[in-house]
Structure 1
Amino acid sequence: MAVGLGLPDKLHPAPTSPAKRPFYRHLYVQVLIAIALGAGIGHFWPEVGESLKPLGDGFIKLVKMIIAPVIFLTVATGIAGMKELASVGRVAGKAFAYFLFFSTLALIVGLIIANVVQPGAGLNIDPATLDAGAVADYSKKAHDSSLTAFLLEIIPDTMISAFTGGSILQVLFVAILFGISLSLVGEPAAPILDFMERIALVIFRLVGILMKAAPIGAFGAIAFTIGKYGLAALANLGILVATFYLTSFIFVVGVLGAVAWFNGFSVLKLCRYLKAELLLVLGTSSSEAALPSLMDKMQKAGCDKSVVGLVVPTGYSFNLDGTNIYMTLAALFIAQACNVELSLGEQISLLLVAMISSKGAAGVTGAGFITLAATLSIVPSVPVAGMTLILGIDRFMSECRSLTNFIGNAVATVIIARWDGALDKDQLDLALSGALPDEPALPPIEADED
């Protein structure tokens, strides 16, 4: 069987070892160069940088266009290929237990670092002088995104609307039900399963085509960010930005690194394996931009297709380590800047509210800022208007949120696959050692195609 999609060898021949290519033909090198060029244009020619925003937006729309079929085909065929349907519930149970533990741990880490560093101390901001209207839209979205509404939104109006509504969880919901139905029907459904696997081969080739435009998307997105907000906005609240990046680094290397080491792999080697995707996330400030590629690479790295299909999409909504660190860190920054003393009990309440609100607004555009608004609106001690203090630099922190979320979900996929006995450790070692092709899409069929 071929690695990744689980297709018969006659449909997906085993790739031969690729010839060594010039460094500039590697996707991660192209994205890195594009980010550097975009940052330069945004800094020296801000108006030109702002005008390049459609390049980034267009690329993200291209990727979002393909997310629904990738998730549906991967999950449905993966579940249909399971010998026991009980394994679906087992994988989901392990995934949610993992998500709950590490998401809560991320909130705690953010809380601890904020108390130790105190990035907002000394600013002495009077809440009455803040413009609450600047964050009114975010507060409204946070109010609309209750936990109950979020759970009901998982159920689409129709099966077709799940693919047109842009909700990852709706697609996942339909895919799980369809996969279970295929499994229960059994042999009569075999032609449908075979057809879906053939379609999946085409879809993942399409992902490879779209990824060729990644440098253009990263170029436009980073040029817009620097052009619109400028490096001055970053410097004004540099302590908070630096603290957030440092905290996320500690969480990834210290916490995730430790659990990865305990499970027999290196988080740094995993990041190296996913370097092209990480640079893409950095350039676009969107972890969704690399979702299809992450699912493909995790399968190539030896994680079972069914585990990848369940863990990655749900992780994008429930395993938001970077967002959780940001929430507690930013909330305490606002409190410190406004000279609001929070007792230990109030900080614990803030933590509990954040645990719930981070799930209620999952999958919403600008989820990090929206979940922060939701948290502060329920904890009256900290003024919601204080969010205006970080509104200008939120875009710079969104890159770190997305990167941390992305790495957290990659680590979760490997660990849960290992826990479920669905990990090919030899294949993982090959991938992390750099022995596999580093392109994010399926191997090309023609030898001279890249």
Structure 2
Amino acid sequence: MVTPVDPPVAPAAPSARPRWWRHLYIQVLVAIAAGAIVGHFWPDFGTALKPLGDAFIKLVKMIIAPVIFLTLVTGIAAIRDLAEVGRVAGKAFAYFITVSTLALVVGLIVANTVRPGAGLNVDPATLDPAATADYSAKAHETTLTGFLLDIIPTTLVSPFTGGNILQVLLVSILFGVAFVLVGDRGQPVLDLLERLSAVVFRIVGLLMRLAPIGAFGAIAFTIGQYGLESLVGLGKLVATFYATSLLFVLLVLGAIARAAGFSILRLIRYLRAELLLVLGTSSSEAALPALIGKMEDAGCAKAVVGLVVPTGYSFNLDGTNIYMTLAALFIAQATGVELSLGDQLLLLGVAMLSSKGAAGVTGAGFITLAATLSIVPSVPVAGMALILGVDRFMSECRSLTNFIGNAVATVVVARWEGQLDRAQLDRALARST
């Protein structure tokens, strides 16, 4: 009897790569270009598209609180070591303070070297303080005591409707710690949260499909409302800020990344879709849920990601810090105010405090600048009217720099804690090339 021979099995075909136009970053890039064209050639129509961007940002902000809560609670509960959680938080804040202060110093040095406001000879008496009155009023409300008290929510559930990231963070940490203390009795609830986390991140994936529409509406509004011609008069300031931020990312954050064993350029490429979304919406919050998912996929422990990313959105704002000292000295130079070394050190110290607590949303940098100038009397607050017209364009650069800074911080803190899967990080960054 002849034994039948099985036919040879053909090797499995490699999974087909998605078409180039199906990549999210390509779709967002096309949407940004289309929005810029619409805003430039049909400014009234572009301005009318503002609700598209606003609606997308509201949709994303709707899901931020559940993402932070579920990520952090399940992450802390998995560690089951409160000392380790405290150690992660301590290292994260040490990193935030060091790098944020360095960003302030870089802005100060560049402003003194390039002097973008020199020669404008603006008389402060001719400036209209009403133009920045709303920002100044909000700045006076933002005191350090008020900020600290605002971290405590009214009720246990109010952070999920109030939109305050730090309140969500506080409640999440309390829940995570409680799970550790309760032990096995809390396991059924923890299992439910794990399953709920999978559903919530699927919602994030669905919302990200709308990112091109949001970016299109937001950039069309920005160009239509403010116009590219507004950049001409203050082009030196905008160019200086963008160049400084780029050098900070490539040199300072690049050196930190190299010391931690990864490439800043590969990380940027890995996050390219999220960065384009931040560019289009001018808000780093729009990409916060996606950043949490990307950092976990890159091998950072869930507890580290859940703690570092949302905290960094209020305490690790490298782009905002560069902007604050650079813009403050620009106003002083433009209005003919000569600041001594003591004045500049005072400005630096005030900025170090006032920058903590500025959330990564559009306009927060301008409000924080107003808070800083209101405490430093030698620089006229009314001088902020000089940069009001181009602040929206600089807001995009602030958000991009803040976003990259928080991604780097997450990997670095995870590595310090020994909670970084290097092989998974290398695979994730390699896939991005």
Q: 5 Å matches for 1:24-103?
A: 24-103=21-100
Matched, 1:241 2:238: yes
**1:313 counterpart residue number:** 310
Whole-angstrom CA distance in 2 between matches of 1:270 and 1:360: 26
TM-score, length-scaled by structure 2: 0.96
8 Å Cα contact 2:136-2:370 kept in structure 1 = yes
Q: 5 Å matches for 1:246-285?
A: 246-285=243-282
Q: Which amino acid aligns with 1:160?
A: V
**Shift in CA distance, 209/175, structure 1 to aligned 2, threshold 3 Å:** same
TM-score, length-scaled by structure 1: 0.92
1:204 aligned to 198, 201, 206, which one? 201
Q: 5 Å matches for 1:277-296?
A: 277-296=274-293
Q: CA RMSD in A?
A: 1.2
Whole-angstrom CA distance in 2 between matches of 1:128 and 1:143: 22
Whole-angstrom CA distance in 2 between matches of 1:435 and 1:127: 50
Matched, 1:121 2:118: yes
8 Å Cα contact 2:283-2:360 kept in structure 1 = no
Matched, 1:392 2:407: no
Whole-angstrom CA distance in 1 between matches of 2:398 and 2:16: 36
**1:322 counterpart residue number:** 319
8 Å Cα contact 1:155-1:170 kept in structure 2 = yes
Q: Which amino acid aligns with 2:223?
A: I
Whole-angstrom CA distance in 1 between matches of 2:381 and 2:290: 37
1:151 aligned to 148, 151, 162, which one? 148
Whole-angstrom CA distance in 1 between matches of 2:125 and 2:30: 45
**2:334 counterpart residue number:** 337
Matched, 1:162 2:159: yes
**1:13 counterpart residue number:** none
**1:229 counterpart residue number:** 226
**2:191 counterpart residue number:** 194
8 Å Cα contact 1:107-1:324 kept in structure 2 = yes
**1:375 counterpart residue number:** 372
**Shift in CA distance, 364/231, structure 1 to aligned 2, threshold 3 Å:** closer
1:238-273 Cα offsets, whole Å, 9 max, x none, are 000000000000100000000100110011100000
1:134 aligned to 131, 135, 151, which one? 131
8 Å Cα contact 1:145-1:361 kept in structure 2 = no
Structure 1 segments of 4 or more deviating over 6 A? none
Matched, 1:176 2:173: yes
1:305-333 Cα offsets, whole Å, 9 max, x none, are 00000000000000000000000000000
Deviation at 1:430, TM superposition (A): 0.6
Q: Which amino acid aligns with 1:223?
A: A
8 Å Cα contact 1:143-1:374 kept in structure 2 = yes
Deviation at 1:83, TM superposition (A): 3.0
Q: Which residues of structure 1 form unaligned runs of 5+?
A: 1-15, 437-450
1:38-60 Cα offsets, whole Å, 9 max, x none, are 00000011011001000000000
1:197-229 Cα offsets, whole Å, 9 max, x none, are 000000000000000000000000000000010
Whole-angstrom CA distance in 2 between matches of 1:351 and 1:359: 13
Whole-angstrom CA distance in 2 between matches of 1:275 and 1:365: 20
8 Å Cα contact 1:41-1:223 kept in structure 2 = yes
8 Å Cα contact 1:146-1:361 kept in structure 2 = no
Q: Which amino acid aligns with 2:89?
A: A
Q: Which residues of structure 2 form unaligned runs of 5+?
A: 1-12
3-state SS in 2 of match to 1:119: coil
8 Å Cα contact 1:146-1:360 kept in structure 2 = no
1:93-151 Cα offsets, whole Å, 9 max, x none, are 00000000000000000000000000000000000000011111111111101011000
1:218 aligned to 189, 206, 215, which one? 215
Give the number of the structure whose alpha-carbon radius of gyration is greater.
2
